[in-house]
Amino acid sequence: MERKNFNPLVSSSRSPLGLEIISAQGDFLFDAKGKKFLDFISGISVSNLGHRHPNINDAIKDQLEKHSFVMVFGEYHQTPQVDLAKALIQITPANLDGVYFLSTGSEANEAAIKLARRYTKKKEIISFQGSYHGSTMGSLSASGNEKRKSAFRPLLPGFAQIPFNDSHCLKRINKDTAAVLVEAIQGDAGVRIPSADFMKELRGRCTEFGCLLIIDEIQTGLGRTGKMFAFEHFDIEPDIITLGKALGGGIPLSAIIAPQNILSSFQSHPELGHISTHGGNPLGCRAGIAQLEILNGEGFLNSVDQKGEYLRAELEKLPFKEVRSKGLFFALEMNSAEEVQKMVSNCLEKGLITFWFLSNPQSFRIAPPLNIEEENLKLGIKLISEAMQDL
Ligand SMILES: Cc1ncc(COP(=O)(O)O)c(C=O)c1O
């Protein structure tokens, strides 16, 4: 018997936003009733050039006319994958000359953890309290939010989390450590920016003990913080970078970037050490190339910084407890989780999309498209101010 109003789609929470979005263009989403929403989070840092950017759309359409999927990643020579890999190693430190494509951020971290164990022949993976590295068993084992982990124990052995931005605790890294996995700026902990000294000491400690420094740039990478990668703010170089979210311009795509001699560990003992059917989707690769051309354009990253500074100055005029930001990645701290909930829903009512953080209920995020129109940036600030007045 047909159940009236039955929706078989199970949502990931009991209180999803539930917007029925039927189209999107530039900085805006449109719902089924024609209401317009300014996307001030870029779909959690995926739609970093807004929605339906013409260059990205054209690249996807052109590739669609050729092929959209032909074979599991790595078996065929596919020009979109080769071209995106070449474009990526142009923007990373010189020793990172190898790229391995996957499809989600969790999967990229999962593979990076396996790679580090395989390459170093050591077991221990150290990461940081407050971090978020994904929802699969390995990436969850590395994540630092106990509340999100405890229901799924036992998780993987050989993982430990230490306090973030606390140089003293780096002593925990030792000769048995295979890798340290870190977000150079913690995202879901509420935009936590470590000191340059901490990051340099972390780099030094990894080098000293022969363990790999894996920097998770899944949320912060590709211009979000005003530099191509967040680690560039600290004048250090990683051994491995993981990328996801924005990489495929809205098409699922992730990657590990590492030296070829490390990445090639996946080729033997066992052969096919990490395989991924949908890794390196050619539509995502073409979209990724089109996106990188824009990010590499003269002055683009400077403009992200300038917009970030303007936004920060305006938000600091409002009575937030704290404004934490880098580039166009913001956490706005309030007095309580309840206030945050009310604020996010007030914004939504006014046609502005903001969102909370997984590991910081007292803050909410804003991460507008990097190419947001100036008038839309101003509109967002106005709506935040009005939403705050209605608390
Ligand atoms: C820093 C970081 N790493 C990993 C992930 C997991 O990515 P995905 O949801 O694509 O598996 C996320 C997602 O929010 C993230 O922010």
For residue 158 the two structure tokens come to 């050989």
Select the CATH number that applies to the domain covering 57-295 from these four: 2.60.40.60, 3.40.630.30, 3.40.50.12780, 3.40.640.10: 3.40.640.10
Query: 221 CB less than 6 Å from ligand 1?
Result: no
Domains 21-52+300-389 and 57-295 in one fold = no
Ligand 1 geometric centre to CA of 139 (Å): 9
The confidence score (pLDDT) of residue 307 equals 98
Q: Is the CB of 188 under 6 A from ligand 1?
A: yes
Give me ligand 1 centre to Cα 153, in Å: 20
Dist. CA 381–CA 318, nearest whole Å: 10
Only one residue has tokens 């340099």, namely 200
Nearest residue to 288 via CA among 317, 251, 257 = 251
79 alpha-carbon distance from chain centroid: 25
pLDDT the model gives residue 63: 98
Residue with the two structure tokens 């340290």: 180
Look at the domain 21-52+300-389 and name its fold.
Aspartate Aminotransferase, domain 1 (3.90.1150)
pLDDT of residue 3: 81
Task: Please give the Cα distance from 192 to 325 (Å, whole number).
Answer: 8
Quote the ligand 1 centre to 6 CA distance (angstroms). 31
pLDDT of 163 reads: 98
Report the residue among 182, 245, 251, 253 best suited for mutation to probe ligand 1: largest number of ligand atoms under 8 A from its CB: 245
- For the chain, domain boundaries: 21-52+300-389, 57-295
Q: Is the CB of 27 under 6 A from ligand 1?
A: no
pLDDT at site 5: 80
Residue type, 214: I
Q: Which tens digit of pLDDT belongs to each residue from 168-200?
A: 999 999 999 999 999 999 999 999 999 999 999
Pocket probe for ligand 1: among 132, 139, 183, 251, the residue whose CB has the most ligand atoms within 8 Å is 132
**Residue 110 Cβ contacting ligand 1 at under 6 Å:** no
pLDDT for the residue numbered 246: 98
The pLDDT, as a whole number, for residue 383 is: 98
Show the low-confidence residues of the chain (pLDDT under 50). Answer: none
CA-nearest residue for atom 16, ligand 1, is: 219
